[in-house]
Structures are given as C-alpha cells and as structure tokens.
Amino acid sequence: MMITPRRPAIQVDRLHRYFGATKAVQDMSFEVYPGEVFGYIGPNGAGKTTSMRILATLDEPTYGDALVDGFSVVDDPDRVRKRLGFMPDYFGAYQNVNVREYLDFFARAYGLRSDQRKKAIEYVMEFTLLDRLADKPIDGLSKGMKQRLCLGRTMIHDPAVLILDEPAAGLDPRARIELREMISALADAGKAVLISSHILTELAEICDRVGIIEQGRLLAVGTVDEISSGVETISRVRLRVLEDNDRLQAWFAARSDIRDLEFAEGRFTLTHEGGPNEQAALLKQLVDAGFRVIEFASKTKSLEDVFLHVTEGRVQ
C-alpha cells in the first residue's frame, strides 16, 4: 500500500525580511506538522516576531515564501487568515466589553453566523475555563484570564494553525501550567502550534520540536535530544555521605571524569561527564567503594544549555 506523505501545516521556504540594512530574517526554512507543538527560541531581536508576523500575513517577506495549510502568505493571504489564529505578545482590550461580547465580536469578524457563532463562543469559553466569567468586563480580568481570553479569540474560528507569541509572559506558575495544558489539548486535537517563549524550560516540557534562531538565522531544528547530540553531555551532581568526607574528596580528586568539585555544609557538588547512565554507574562505584551515600541527585543539560551551546552563548 502506498503511504501518502503527511503535508506540513506550516512550511517556511527560504524566507528573508530586510528593513533597510537590517536583516531581520535571513534564509529561514522549517516545517510544522498537524498535531505538533513547535517551539521558537531566540533572544530579543532574533527575528522571531518578524517571521511570525509574516506567517500571520501582517507583514510581507522581502524574498521567499511561507505556506499555511497549503496556502501562500504572499499569494493567498485571505485564505491563510481563515486557517490561522495569531496570538500576539500583547492583549488588545476594549472598554465596556465583557468576555462574551469580546468573543462575539471576533466570531462575527471571522464570518461566523447564528448558531455556528453561538456554539463557537460557548465552546471557546468552556475550553478556556472562562464560561463562569462570561459577563465580566474584560478590563477587570487578571493577567492569566486575559491570556486565556486572547487564546480564545485566536481559536474562535477553529483554525488549523495557531501561532502564539510569548503567551506565558507575565503569568504566575499556576496560570502557566493551565496555559500549557490548553496548548497540549489543541495539539492533541490536530492543530499545528508554533509558540515562542523566553521560558525555555516550559518549551522543553511542551514542544515536540524546537527551532533556535539568532540574528535572523535558524541555527538548529529538531527535538532537544537531536540538537543536543553534538553537545558534550555533562551533569551537575550533588551528594552527601555518612562520614569519610576526606577520603571521598581524595577519591574524587583521583578521577579524570570529575571536575569543579566543591564541598560546603556537608555536601559535595561536582560536574561529571555523561548523562543518566553514567550517573547511575558513578553511584554504584561510590557504594562499591564503601561510601554510605545518603543523598545523590544529578541534573543533565537543559534546553537553556543547548540554546547557549548552539548560539555560542551570544546575546543581542
């Protein structure tokens, strides 16, 4: 049986955007598939928002093109807008408008009529947990509730693609968790989600793949493990033992895979080469050597570590 290749929901092809002598986006290409959460990582001024605005048909590329659900942002912007929801990094609020009226305004703007519009509004309010606040003026909502409402506005017309620019900015931990759960649910429903954020640990938890961008160029694309494959794997280890601290310090000093050894408040911290398998082996060696280990914890490289390695630690 012939297998039909899966069509990307977002396809960026050799995208360039110049502002005079400033090259905001340079030769960028990547794809995002239905049901996938793609994380966009980069410092301020890297070109994330510019490229997202092009995908949302709010700007035009200098060269290149991008397809959203199969339609060109250059040649078919009207069709793209029907298939895409864009959540900017700021919330546009209106005075004397409640939650239901706000969503109704955007539903009408997308051409939803009668029962279709009513069902869309009810579904969005239930999905974003705003149904109990339907009659509340939006200028009285908390930051977290406003972000939910902005997400609801973005998905009111049931788009195939969602582009979210820094959606977790300024949210408290609980609101971030709830937003992350909503984004995962949208991906499970088959939506393609492109999300940018400076909160790299959250992207690592939610994203299927990430793209690292700096100075307008896409430096790496893939899963965190794929991008990490060329990065030396090291872990920071913290441990305590019952007695024998002097002997343990000498034991560590004789090993070539241990560095940055520190001892404070009865606890050792050190850098050890390798990942989880190597840490398990180290713990076994400690026990076999007669040390009574009462605490052992290690942390391998995070998404921040991968980002700093790929960008060589530069910031803009």
Residue 171: CATH number of its domain: 3.40.50.300
Question: What mean pLDDT is predicted for residues 294-315?
Answer: 68
- Shared-domain flag, residues 218 and 252: no
Q: For position 230, what pLDDT does the model report?
A: 58
Tens-place pLDDT, residues 209-229: 988 888 899 888 888 777 766
Residue 276: CATH number of its domain: 3.30.70
Number of domains in the chain: 2
- Shared-domain flag, residues 137 and 46: yes
Average pLDDT in the chain: 88
Q: Are the CB atoms for 289 and 241 separated by under 8 Å?
A: no
| Domain stops at, among 223, 257, 288 | 223
Question: What mean pLDDT is predicted for residues 240-263?
Answer: 91
Higher pLDDT, 286 or 301: 286
* Amino acid (1-letter code) at residue 114: S
Tens-place pLDDT, residues 5-26: 578 999 999 999 999 999 999 9
Question: What mean pLDDT is predicted for residues 108-133?
Answer: 94
- Shared-domain flag, residues 280 and 132: no
Report if residue 196 sits inside a domain.
yes
Q: For position 312, what pLDDT does the model report?
A: 60
- Shared-domain flag, residues 101 and 219: yes
- Shared-domain flag, residues 151 and 207: yes
**Residue bearing tokens 């009285």:** 140
Q: CA-CA distance, 190 to 34, in Å (whole number)?
A: 5
Q: Which helix (H) or strand (E) holds 65?
A: strand 63-68
pLDDT tier at 190 (50, 70, 90 boundaries)? very high
- Shared-domain flag, residues 174 and 129: yes
Report if residue 154 sits inside a domain.
yes
Cβ atoms within 10 A of the Cβ of 256, count?
6
| Domain stops at, among 184, 202, 223 | 223
Joined together, the tokens standing for residue 302 give 């995070």
Residue 299 pLDDT greater than 80, yes or no: no
Tens-place pLDDT, residues 164-186: 998 887 788 888 888 889 999 99
Q: For position 130, what pLDDT does the model report?
A: 94
- Shared-domain flag, residues 193 and 246: no
Question: What mean pLDDT is predicted for residues 81-104?
Answer: 88
Report if residue 310 sits inside a domain.
no
Q: CA-CA distance, 270 to 252, in Å (whole number)?
A: 9
Domain that holds residue 105: 10-223
Lowest mean pLDDT among 44-48, 235-239, 286-290, 306-310: 306-310
Q: For position 240, what pLDDT does the model report?
A: 94
Q: At what angle do helices 99-109 and 114-127 cross, to 10 degrees?
A: 130
Model pTM score: 0.75
pLDDT tier at 4 (50, 70, 90 boundaries)? very low
Best CA proximity match to 85, nearest among 164, 13, 143, 32: 164
- Shared-domain flag, residues 112 and 255: no
pLDDT tier at 205 (50, 70, 90 boundaries)? confident
β-bridge pairing 161-165 and 192-196: parallel
- Shared-domain flag, residues 131 and 252: no
> What are the contacts of 19-25 at 24+ separation with CB within 8 A?
23/215, 23/216, 24/50, 24/216, 25/50, 25/51, 25/54, 25/61, 25/216
Report if residue 229 sits inside a domain.
no
- Shared-domain flag, residues 122 and 22: yes
